[in-house]
């Protein structure tokens, strides 16, 4: 950043003010991958990002969602794999986020995709990170 920054609240130019920069890591597990090596690598990378700077790094995880090729038992198993990994990495996974999506106008009536996808905002230590994640994100158009 520049050595001088504009204070948005007061309109005053503040010398040597350092504004926090956040790093966001995203993982989409809505359709759980069968290849455990690539999935574990993605989970490990997201955990590392969140733990590098607990006061500035945030993770966003899209939970698995049911679809025609997934049983309820498999869905619970997949979610537990993710929960166990991120809890083991000492990440706070308690901030639930809903991702609100809209279907295209020309979507067929057989389109059964959910309108809200479950997600979680993860931080290594919410007490250290001043950023508060939203409870709802969207609307985001589905493709």
Structural domain span for residue 98: 21-141
Give me the pLDDT at residue 122, please. Answer: 92
What is the tens place of the pLDDT at every residue in 11-21? 455 455 555 67
Residue at 8 is within a domain: no
Cβ-Cβ contacts under 8 Å for 11 (sequence gap 6 or more): none
Give me the pLDDT at residue 19, please. Answer: 56
Give me the pLDDT at residue 128, please. Answer: 83
Going by pLDDT thresholds of 50, 70 and 90, the confidence category of residue 45 is very high
Residue at 7 is within a domain: no
What gap in Å lies between CA 85 and CA 79, rounded to an integer? 10
Residue at 6 is within a domain: no
Is it the case that residue 133 has pLDDT exceeding 80? yes
Q: Is 59 helix (H, G, I), strand (E, B) or coil?
A: strand
DSSP code of residue 140:
E
Provide DSSP, 87-138.
Answer: HHTT-EEEEEEEEEEE--TT--TT----SEEEEEEEES-TTT------SEEE
Is it the case that residue 97 has pLDDT exceeding 50? yes
Token pair of 142 as six digits: 């589905």
Residue at 96 is within a domain: yes
Instruction: Report the domain count for the chain.
Output: 1
Residue at 61 is within a domain: yes
Residue at 14 is within a domain: no
pTM of the model: 0.76
């Amino acid at each position: 950043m520049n050595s001088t920054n504009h204070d948005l609240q007061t309109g005053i130019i503040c010398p040597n003010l350092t504004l926090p920069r956040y790093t966001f890591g995203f993982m989409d597990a809505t359709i759980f991958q069968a290849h455990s090596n690539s999935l574990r690598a993605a989970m490990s990378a997201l955990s590392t990002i969140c733990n590098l700077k607990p006061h500035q790094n945030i993770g966003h995880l899209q939970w698995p969602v049911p679809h025609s090729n997934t049983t309820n038992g498999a869905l619970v198993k997949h979610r537990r794999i993710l929960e166990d990994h991120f809890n083991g990495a000492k990440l706070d996974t308690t901030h639930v986020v809903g991702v609100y999506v809209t279907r295209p106008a020309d979507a067929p009536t057989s389109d059964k995709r959910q309108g809200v996808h479950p997600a979680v905002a993860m931080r290594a230590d919410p007490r250290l990170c001043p950023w508060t994640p939203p409870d709802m994100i969207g609307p985001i158009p589905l493709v």
